[in-house]
Each structure stands twice: as structure tokens, then as C-alpha cells.
Structure 1
Amino acid sequence: MARIRVQLAVLILALGASAFCAAAPLKAQVLDAQGKPLAGAVLSLSGDNTAGNAVPTASMDQVKQEFVPHVLAVHTGTRIRFPNSDNIRHQVYSFSPAKRFELRLYEGTPTDPLLFDKPGVVVLGCNIHDWMLGYIYVTDDPWFAVSGADGTLSLDVPPGRYQATLWHPQLPDQRVSPGGTIDVAASGLQRSWTLTVEPLTADTPHAPETSGFGDAFNKAVRETEK
């Protein structure tokens, strides 16, 4: 009987620890200064919990001569593949200090993914198609997500206190924005943030008929170096 009591006590403690460590839902929305949903915003969290939602590999595709997704967030140390889903060749490269590389003209998927081992913003371009522009946000924070077209994102995190950081390609000088301290209860948290972003300019590459890649790409690279 005593042995059964001990086993029951161990089971209760295990269940209690499991409940304590269970993830809680964080539902967030990122808006611009006009209250409109902001797509492509990165929310990252740091805190006592270091085992986050990082994965060892990720992909930045090329579809209809655009980078997909436009903004990709990864943890430092992630290896990224650059598949080309178009039926034409692309040449992808970056001059950003966090990762300088070049993938010469290719179709399909390069055999080896690239290691992104430094935190920072990596601006991507294609020197064949001037309008292609993409971003990889590499972070040391263990928890992160990117907002969708409706400005929303979700994370499952252990209950606790976190420091929030936000980033978006249209933030002035592409600098990160502090999001303050948040407390995530076991029942979860719903929260919104507002970012004041710069409007897209006429020379921002967005369509085949434009040829502003040089200025826009170099401006983006200079901003990541500040």
C-alpha cells in the first residue's frame, strides 16, 4: 500500500509539472500608425525559457519572381534552403553583414542549405530580376513569429515574463523596436502592438516594370549596417 501511495504521489507531481510547463497561447496583432494591419512584422521574445520554437532548417522560395515569404524569421544557427519554384533561373545574393553570399544562376534547389550563424537583418536580391527584394531576420531570441496579411501572429510559449522586440522592413533605418515586458498567463494572452513605419516609395522594387533595385537594395543594405 505504501508503495502505491508513493507511485501516486510521483504521478501527481509529474502531472503538476507537466501542467506548469504546458505552453500558453499568445495571440498578437501588429498595426501601423493608422490602425491598419501590418504584414511581415517580426515579434520575438526573450525570457527565462530558452527552449523556443526554433527549427534547424527553413526555406526561402522564389515564386512568380518574388521571394516567398517576403520576410522570413529564423533562429541563429538555422540552415536555409533557397528553392527556385519558377521555370526561369535566379541569382540570389546578399551584401548584408549578417550574411554575405551569392547563389549563381540556378534552377530547382541548390544541394546544400546555407548556415545563418549571426543575428541581424539579411537583405536579399536577385541580380537578374531587379524588383525582387526579400528579408531574413536572424534572431538569438528563442521565440519568434511573423505577422500575416491581417497583421496577426500566434505563439505557444510557457507561461512567464518576456521582453518583446518588433521589427519590420519599413521601420526607420530598419532598426528593431522595443515592445516592452509582457506577462503570459497559463490561460494565454491577447496583445496588440503599433509600429510607425515609413511608407513605400516610388523607387521601392515591386513590379517587373520598375528598375529601382539598385537604389532600394543598396539603401536597405546600408540601413542594416547602421
Structure 2
Amino acid sequence: MAVGEYGTTNRARLTCSRALCGVVAGACVSAASAADLSFRLADPQGRMLDGAVVSLLPLRGNALPAPRPAHIEQVDKAFHPLVSVVQVGTAVDFPNNDRVRHHVFSFSSAKVFELKLYAGRPAQPVVFDKPGVVVLGCNIHDRMLAYVVVVETPWSAVAGTDGLARLRGVPAGEYTMQVWHPQRLGKPDLPARALRVAGDLSESLVVDLKQ
């Protein structure tokens, strides 16, 4: 597993050994037409970055797969998951599995909407048609909060409590890699990093969220 730094001193740096199988931004890969990638993200103190979003934007303008529907549940007066990443154009359902009604809304510039007081499943999903970060809330329960990161690519993932983000079936090619975390809300994007995908990849990244 390669170990690198992401977003340090305003640039992305990566250090790892080069091998015969080929190199992806300094990380060893095996040749394949589509790859499974995994990134373990931690801060400089070694804390795993639960909820970090990794997205890969292809540099070539080839046709992208159609977005898949998604859902964000309301359970025990909380959104699940806390952080979601969806492709532009994704229809997101907001089922309410609580016994109380919720009033889901967002005032974020990437998507302004509201689902007025309801129980069960809304009549229509919400289509997220613009890239950006959408902050969700509930007009009835102020402590309810969630984030939807809308990206212009189907190749993205959210890191779990182990800091691991997995991207499946990524076609070979050149990409721009972007990392986001809720702690970066309202701050400039972290510097992007060039990434060449030529096969399966497993890599650890150190992400400085304070820069």
C-alpha cells in the first residue's frame, strides 16, 4: 500500500516505490481495462477521516454512465447516511422511517428545495442537477443535518469509519482526483491531484484539512 500526502502546502504529494507493474501517480497498479480503487484517508495526526468524499473526474469528455437513484433515510430523527455523494442528475428519495413527520429542506446554492411536513415516502424524489455541496436540514428538528456532495462523475465514494473509500469499476484513463470532508464546508476546495488509472490500486493518503 502506497502512502502519500494530499493537500499539503497547497499541493498534492505522493511518495511510493515504483514497480514493474506500472505507476499511477507513483502508486503501483496492475494492468486492467477497469479497476477497483481503494483509498484510506487520514489527517496528519493519523485520525481516520470518516465521511471524506473521494471523486475522480475523467479528463476526456467521453459519455458517462447514467446516474443511479439514491436514497437518504430519516431514522431516529437523523439523516442516514450523514454524507452522501451523487452524480449530477441523480434522483434522491427521502423516506421517513420515523413515527414523527419531518420537513426536509436545503437552502444551498447547488440545490434549493423543501419536502414539506410528511411521513412515509415523498411522492417524488429530488433531482440534484447542479454540482456542489448541499446541506440538508429539517424545519421541525433543528439538530438534523446531512451533506450531499454532487459531482460530475459516477466514480466517487464516501470513506467509512476506517477511513477507507472504495471505487469500483473505474475505466482506465486520466482523472482529476478531488477530496472533500464536512470540516471543509464553506472553505476553498483542497488542491486537486492528477491520477492515471491503469489497474487496481490501494493507497493511503494524508489529508490536511486545516490548510
Same fold (TM over 0.5): yes
Deviation for aligned residue 1:54: 5.7
List runs of 5+ in structure 1 lacking aligned partners: 1-19, 199-226
Verify the 8 A CA contact 1:53 1:143 in the aligned structure 2: no
Deviation for aligned residue 1:46: 1.4
Q: Which letter maps to 1:149?
A: T
Q: Which deviates more, 68-77 or 155-164?
A: 155-164
Query: What does residue 180 of structure 2 align with?
Result: 167
Q: Which letter maps to 2:44?
A: A
Cα gap change, 1:64 to 1:174, in 2 (>3 Å): farther
Provide the TM-score with structure 1 as the length reference: 0.72
Verify the 8 A CA contact 1:92 1:103 in the aligned structure 2: yes
Aligned equivalents of 1:112, 1:21: Cα separation in 2? 40
Provide the TM-score with structure 2 as the length reference: 0.77
Question: Bigger radius of gyration, 1 or 2?
Answer: 1
List runs of 5+ in structure 2 lacking aligned partners: 1-30
Aligned equivalents of 2:127, 2:41: Cα separation in 1? 29
String of CA shifts for 1:4-29, please: whole Å, max 9, x gaps. xxxxxxxxxxxxxxxx8732111111
Aligned equivalents of 1:30, 1:179: Cα separation in 2? 15
Match of 2:41 among 9, 30, 33: 30
Cα gap change, 1:146 to 1:174, in 2 (>3 Å): farther
Considering fraction of residues, name the structure with more strand. Answer: 2
Query: What does residue 210 of structure 1 align with?
Result: none
Match of 1:45 among 50, 56, 59: 56
Considering fraction of residues, name the structure with more helix. Answer: 1
Aligned equivalents of 1:190, 1:161: Cα separation in 2? 17
Q: Which deviates more, 33-42 or 53-62?
A: 53-62
Query: What does residue 190 of structure 1 align with?
Result: 202
Indicate the RMSD between aligned Cα atoms, in angstroms. Answer: 2.0
Cα gap change, 1:35 to 1:51, in 2 (>3 Å): farther
Instruction: Report the identity percentage.
Output: 47
Cα gap change, 1:58 to 1:174, in 2 (>3 Å): farther
Q: Which letter maps to 1:197?
A: L
Verify the 8 A CA contact 2:94 2:125 in the aligned structure 1: yes
Please tell me whether residue 176 in structure 1 is matched to residue 189 in structure 2. Answer: yes
Q: Which letter maps to 1:140?
A: E
Q: Which letter maps to 2:54?
A: L
Cα gap change, 1:99 to 1:36, in 2 (>3 Å): same
Q: Which letter maps to 1:196?
A: D
Cα gap change, 1:71 to 1:174, in 2 (>3 Å): farther
Please tell me whether residue 130 in structure 1 is matched to residue 142 in structure 2. Answer: yes
